[in-house]
Structure formats: C-alpha cells, structure tokens
Amino acid sequence: MISPAASGLGRQVRAYNVHECDAQDLMAKHGVPVARGSAVTTAADAESAAVKMQDSGVNDYVVKAQVLAGGRGKGSFMNGFKGGVHLCSEVKEVGEMAEQMLGQRLVTKQTGPEGKPCNKVLVTERLFLRKETYFAILMDRATAGPVMVGSSEGGMDIEAVAAETPDKIHNLAFPLDAGPEDADLVDLATKMGFTNESENNQTVDIMRKLWNMFAATDATLIEVNPLGETHDGRVYCLDAKLNFDDNAFYRQKDTFKLRDPSQEDPREVEAEKSGLNYIGLDGNIGCLVNGAGLAMATMDVIKLNGGDPANFLDLGGGATVDQVTAAFKLLNDDKNVQAILVNIFGGIMRCDIIAQGIIKAATDLGLSKPIVIRLAGTRVDEARKLIDDSGLRMLTTDDLQEAAQRVVRVAEIQKLATEAQVSVRFELPL
C-alpha cells in the first residue's frame, strides 16, 4: 500500500504502473477481450492453474515472469535460466518453468545488471495469432491532449518500427473532453490491417473500451503489444502495459492498491514513508536540498565541477527535524555515497530547522560520511551557531560554487581513502 505521508502530501509515486496480470484484469473489467489466465506465486499453483484451463479446453500455455520491465522474453535470470516468457504444451512443463522463475531476479535491457525480483508468474492460455498489431493511448505534449497510436507491425520493438519504417506508425489525436470519433477509429483500425468488417468492428470496439478505461482510471498510457487476431477471426489484447497519473491517487485508490514496491528502488520506497522526494542516481555525492529547482541546480553544479550526484533529494518547503534525519539516514546508508552536500536556501524552510536535523542525524545515526554545508536565507546565523556549538566536524561555506568544489574534492579523497582502506579527517579550509 502507498504510505499517505500525512494525507498524500510529499508522495512520490512516479510513472506508476502495474504488472501485466493486473493490467489484464483491469481490461477485462472494462469489457476488453484478453486471454484467460491467472497470476500465481508457487510452481504448484502454476500447475493447478494449467489444470483448470485444461479442463476448459486449453492445451497450450504461456508462462510469463511478472516484473515491471520490458524485454522479458529476451531476459535472463541470475540463476542462469534464459527467458522470462515460455511456451508450454504440458501441465508439468508449466510448473517446471514457474519453478525456474519464481524467487529469482530477471535481468533485461531495462532493469540494469541488478535485475528485478520475480515473485509471481502469469499462466495464460496460448492464443495462436495470424496477425499482430500495436495499439496505444497516451497523453501527448505536442497536441496537448490524448493520442492513439496504431501500427500493423506488432509483437516487436515498436521503437525500431518507428525508426526504420515510420510510415507504419499512425497517430490519431482527439479532444480530451469529446473522445475519438467512430469514423476516425474505423480509419485507424483499417490502417493497422483490420480491413474486413468483422475484425474492424471488433478492433473499433476495443479501442473505444480502452479509451473509456483510459479516462475512467486516470491513465497516462495504455499500450497493447500485440493487439492480435486469432486464426478464427477473434481480436484480443495481449501483453498490456498501463501507467497511471500518481496525482489521481485520492480517487483511484483501488488501482493504486496494485502497486508492487518490490519492483521499485528500496531507497525510494523508504524515502516515501517520510514524505521525501527522492530519486536514486549513479554517482557518489549525496545531495540534500530544499526545492526541486535548487536540487536540479545543485546537481548541475556538481557535474560542472567534475563530480557525480548520487541522488535527487528534495526536502520541500516544510520539512521537519525528523524528515531531515530520515534524509540523512538514506544518504548515510547508501554505500555509493562518499560525501554529502547540503544546500539549503531558507525561504519557507528555516535554516535552523535543517541545522537541528543535521545535528540530530549526526548524533542518532553516527554519521560517518563527510558533509559540506551551504546555508543561506531565513535564520542562517542561528543555524551556523547551532552547528558551531555542536562540535561536529563539518565543512561550511556561503557560496554554492565553493561548496560544490569542496564536496567534489572531498568525495575524491574519500574514494581514494576507501580504496586504500584508511580513514580521513577533514579540516577547514579545504
């Protein structure tokens, strides 16, 4: 469940999406035809699901790893098992495939080398398709409204289709309040290759239902790849990806219950619990800033001075001492962080509150990483006095450029010291 962080303020669920199995269930609830199947968490349950489908006439199955990443079919598990999507023709084989996937981490082109955990698999009927197309609905900046995207080239990397054969990508923009016209949907379905009356009617009906679902659920993306036609002329939505507007949490709580925190950066999940805006990056300089714009500028100035930020961490304008302490805990626990830059401009946020948080964090957490502090604005003199009186060994400055230079230098020294397995004691000036 999403931590409300005191009524939702400060939440940071970005690009919120759901597993394929949940996307299939949501589409089915809106009358969209999908393949029969169910999500399971054990190999025994996978076999049971296959047996139930066999009793209803299904003899071919697909076992799909449920991780929030693209390229699952070409991915590899860390146990050496290849592929996150497998076709099976026997019930026993379904269980064997599930056994290899469950509890393992799947590495794809979108996950990075650490992969993502596979805690459940989707066991579904295999539909034999004679036609595979691509269909999506998304919010488009260029037209300031929704747009439908269709292509006759489905079941493959749509980015490659757009790059190599852009004439096969067809867009349909329409007003948000009015929705798409039926004639335009008929035309788009025809361009996607659904030319005879029956398949065209089915596709238009699916498009309309997906648009209704898009509007009703505050979605920002519905992507179906493939939208396929079986050998007997039935059209189905397969392998869907859904994204939702996280600002609609207050009215889409049932949908947001489907969130799977195991697929997210654990640092970001922990930050959310304290109402912090946090995004993990690949550098070694931790950033603690108030205000998104100032945070971006801080990361820029670190890069300009030859360093690499380890995170985006925005305290916002009303952080408490406990939130500041929680922010420092995140940075202190991050093994990649070798130095911390605190850059606070006291407007709404008071500098002395930040100072109190720094002191509390250093006392409670035993902060072991060097800190460079730049404070300016409301109650900055009181903040400096608090830090001076605390006896803590921190580097302070009034100038952001100087602060960036210092933290980059400190991080470099700390990195060398870590490699040499020695400790460093920093003194001013540096």
| Per-residue pLDDT reduced to its tens digit, 287-331 | 999 888 999 999 999 999 999 999 999 887 667 778 888 898 899
Question: Which residue in the list 134, 153, 272, 278 is annotated as catalytic?
Answer: 134
Instruction: Identify whether the C-beta of residue 69 lies closer than 8 Å to the C-beta of residue 106.
Output: yes
**50-105 pLDDT per residue, tens:** 999 999 999 999 999 999 998 899 999 999 999 999 999 999 999 999 999 999 99
pLDDT tops 90 at residue 347: no
**20-39 pLDDT per residue, tens:** 999 999 999 999 999 999 99
Q: What CATH class does 129-256 carry? A: alpha beta
pLDDT tops 60 at residue 390: yes
Domain boundaries, the chain: 36-125, 129-256, 266-420
Q: What is the pLDDT of residue 372?
A: 92
Q: What is the pLDDT of residue 34?
A: 97
pLDDT tops 90 at residue 427: no
The share of the chain scoring above pLDDT 70, in percent, equals: 93
**Which strands, in side-by-side order, build the sheet including 104-107?**
76-77, 104-107, 116-118
Q: Which two tokens stand for residue 269?
A: 């999940």
Tell which CATH classification among 3.40.50.720, 3.40.50.261, 1.10.3720.10, 3.30.110.30 matches the domain 266-420: 3.40.50.261
Contacts of residue 113, defined as CB under 8 A and 6 or more positions apart, other chains included, come to 107
Label residues 192-211 b or e (16+ Cβ within 10 Å = b). Answer: bbbeeeebbebbbbbbbbbb
pLDDT tops 80 at residue 3: no
Residue 250: active-site member: no
What type of residue sits at position 127?
L
pLDDT tops 50 at residue 8: no
Q: What is the pLDDT of residue 151?
A: 97
Rounded Cα gap, residues 22 and 10, in angstroms: 26
Rounded Cα gap, residues 146 and 131, in angstroms: 26
Average pLDDT over residues 166-186: 95
Q: Which CATH architecture has domain 36-125?
A: 2-Layer Sandwich (3.30)
Between 333 and 86, name the one with better pLDDT. Answer: 86
Residue 223: active-site member: yes
- Strands 104-107, 76-77: pairing is antiparallel
Average pLDDT over residues 204-225: 96
Q: Which two tokens stand for residue 202?
A: 């089915």
Question: Which residue in the list 199, 223, 268, 272 is annotated as catalytic?
Answer: 223
Q: Tell me what the pLDDT averaged over the chain comes to.
A: 89
